[in-house]
Chain A
Amino acid sequence: MSNFTGITATMNPLAEMAQFKQNMREVAASPEWRTSKLIERQRWNPYSMEGGSTAAISGDNFAIVASDTRMTQNDINILTRDAEKIHVLNDSIILSTSGFYGDVIQLRKVLQSRLHKYRFDYRADMSADLCAELLSRNLYYRRFFPYYTGAMLAGIDENGKGAVFSYDPIGCIERLGYSASGAAEPMIIPFLDCQIGHVTVAEDYEKPPLTIERAISLMKDAFRGAAEREISTGDKIHLVIAEAGKPIVQKFLPLRED
């Protein structure tokens, strides 16, 4: 997320104005177009962004995670049309990711090996709550060279309720009812706010309860809407449904391919 910093981090207004006038004089004396354009050297960047988006909804006894399956390079070129951005870690934990795919793979490997070790040590699968905390710590561990991912962890928690945990790249963790991350996050989130959070409608207006069917439909429609307007989202919806006491179901649905 871009933050509101920048324009000469508010000094006193008079000094700011004086600075602005000084700049006006300097620019008038040698305009940008008169000095030959500097070639901006591309510095090596350890990160890249592969686009795409994911979203998750949790309910009483279910959690739904969805993502598109497009992977892009430089926002323009399509690398693959069936990239896996949702990783089912065990019977109750689903990791969904966006951002730098290299880090995504590394992060998944780390989590998988930790989960494997947990099972070896305790003879039981890790629960979603524990894994959520583990992921947070693993992300913060890399505080100064972070995994560049917008991760979300969803699943069924120890009480049999649906859970969605949302993270920033350095491990700030939050348990939410619904969340989205990736390129189309700004398009999906307000839609879910309106349809699941019901924060925009009048108090006395009807608010349909969030059943698993409704959640699935909302999720599909959110991605269909996003694919219409966001260039790096498309190809397929990867839908993963976890319901308490049932095995995880995975589905693929078509999206537009252009």
Chain B
Amino acid sequence: MSIMSYTGGTVVAMAGDECVCIASDLRIGEQMTTIATDEKKVHKVSDKVYVGLAGFQSDAKTMLEKILFRKNLYELRENRKVRPQILSEMISNLCYQHRFGSYFTEPLVAGLDDQNKPYICCMDTIGCVSAPRDFVAIGTGQEYLLGVCENFWQENMKPEELFEATAQSILSCLERDAASGWGAVVYTITKDKVNVSTIKSRMD
């Protein structure tokens, strides 16, 4: 078994019209055994910038601390808010520094930049950035998500539509992914507020 599915967990992000959605499941496991059912894999970095960290959660925790440290240092040094593009570059370089002996976590960045343009990207464990304009998915349910997102994503979705599309995608994924589950949480990031919704899903 791959170390990437040891704790399980899935994160997905979709981009819309001046809004982005990022969603994750809530399960943490030790292989087949569920350990906790309230573990969000999405973390706030700044008002309009969120990161998702799937994969081995011990490493994800370490990685999150390193990311926040770098982000704080950046904001102090540059005296401005971090943009998602900058953050993803930072994380990518951080991951690549551990090219040989990597952290077993795939980061995902979703957010709005200072012009409220949506930005989403995901990386592999050693920091190869892929930043498409539609959607990204990481974690054990990546394949399941990519299949449904391909049909559910549309151009220029408004926040409400984007929320439904993202929620339905992750729910469909949780239907089949054994290593993720126990509820899901969806963050809808718009230019003046963030909406956090816990959605009903199968609890297993």
Q: Are chains A and B touching in the complex at the 8 Å CB cutoff?
A: yes
Question: Cβ of A247 < 8 Å from any Cβ of B?
Answer: no
Count class of interface residues, chain A: 20 to 34
Is B102's beta carbon under 8 Å from chain A?
A: no
Q: How far is the CA of A186 from the CA of B143 in the complex (A)?
A: 6
Q: Evaluate contact between B172 and A190: CB separation under 8 angstroms.
A: yes
Most chain A CB neighbours (cut-off 10 Å) among B1, B32, B172: B172
Q: Can you name the residue of chain B whose Cβ is closest to the Cβ of A226?
A: B147
Tell me the bound Cα distance from A83 to B89 in angstroms: 44
CA distance A201 to B147 in the complex (A): 18
Distance, CA A106 to CA B148, complexed state (A): 34
* Inter-chain contact B144/A187, CB cutoff 8 Å: yes
Closest residue of B by beta carbon distance from A3: B1
Going nearest first, the 3 A-B pairs with the smallest beta carbon separation are A187-B147, A6-B1, A200-B171
* A-B residue pairs in contact (CB < 8 Å), sample of 5: A2-B1, A4-B32, A10-B31, A190-B176, A194-B148
Besides the known contacts A3-B1, A225-B147, 11 further A-B residue pairs in the complex with CB atoms under 8 A apart: A4-B5, A7-B3, A184-B147, A187-B144, A190-B144, A191-B147, A193-B172, A199-B202, A200-B175, A222-B147, A228-B150
A7 touches B172 (CB 8 A): no
Are B148 and A190 closer than 8 Å at their CB atoms?
yes
The answer to whether B1 and A186 have CB atoms under 8 Å apart is no
Interface set of A (CB-CB < 8 Å, partner B): 2-7, 10, 184, 186-191, 193-194, 197, 199-202, 221-222, 224-226, 228-229
8 A Cβ contacts from B158-187 to A: 168, 171-173, 175-176, 178-179
- Assess the B151–A221 pair: CB atoms within 8 A: yes
Query: Which of B1, B146, B147, B200 has the most chain A CB atoms inside 10 A of its CB?
Result: B147
Main SS class of interface, B: helix
Residue of A3, A10, A190 touching B173 (CB-CB under 8 A): A190
Q: Are B151 and A186 in contact (CB under 8 A)?
A: no
| A194-B147 CB under 8 A given contacts A4-B32, A200-B175 | no
- Which interface residue of B148, B168, B178 has the most chain A CB atoms within 10 A? B148
CA distance A228 to B153 in the complex (A): 13
Question: Of the candidates A7, A10, A194, A229, which one forms a contact with B150 in the assembled complex, judged by CB atoms under 8 Å apart?
Answer: A229
Q: Does B74 contact A (CB under 8 A)?
A: no
Contact between B168 and A200, CB atoms less than 8 A apart: yes
Contact yes or no, B168 A194, CB < 8 A: yes
CB pair B172–A191 under 8 Å, yes or no, is yes
Alpha-carbon separation in the docked complex, A143 to B17 (Å): 54
What number of B residues sit within 8 Å (CB to CB) of A?
Answer: 25
Q: How far is the CB of A110 from chain B (nearest CB, A)?
A: 31
Query: Would you list which residues of chain B between 113 and 172 have a CB under 8 Å from chain A?
Result: 143-148, 150-151, 168, 171-172
Say yes or no: A188 contacts B147, CB within 8 Å: yes
Contacts of B172 in A (CB 8 A): 190-191, 193-194, 200
| In the complex, chain B residues whose CB is within 8 Å of the CB of A197 | 175
Beta-carbon contact of B147 and A7 below 8 Å: no
Per the bound structure, the CA–CA distance linking A251 and B37 in Å amounts to: 47
- Shortest CB distance B152–A (Å): 8
CA of A229 to CA of B150, assembled, Å: 8
Chain B nearest CB from A228 CB (Å) reads 5
| Complex contact A191–B143 (CB within 8 A) | no
Instruction: Determine if B175 and A190 form an interchain contact, defined as CB atoms under 8 angstroms apart.
Output: yes
Task: Report the minimal beta-carbon distance from B86 to chain A, rounded to whole angstroms.
Answer: 29
Residues in B with CB closer than 8 Å to A189 are 144, 147, 176
B5 cross-chain contacts in A, Cβ below 8 A: 4
Q: How far is the CA of A184 from the CA of B3 in the complex (A)?
A: 23
Question: A105 vs B144: C-alpha distance in the bound complex, in angstroms?
Answer: 29
Residues of A within 8 A of B201 (CB): 200
- Of the candidates B31, B143, B175, B179, which one forms a contact with A193 in the assembled complex, judged by CB atoms under 8 Å apart? B175
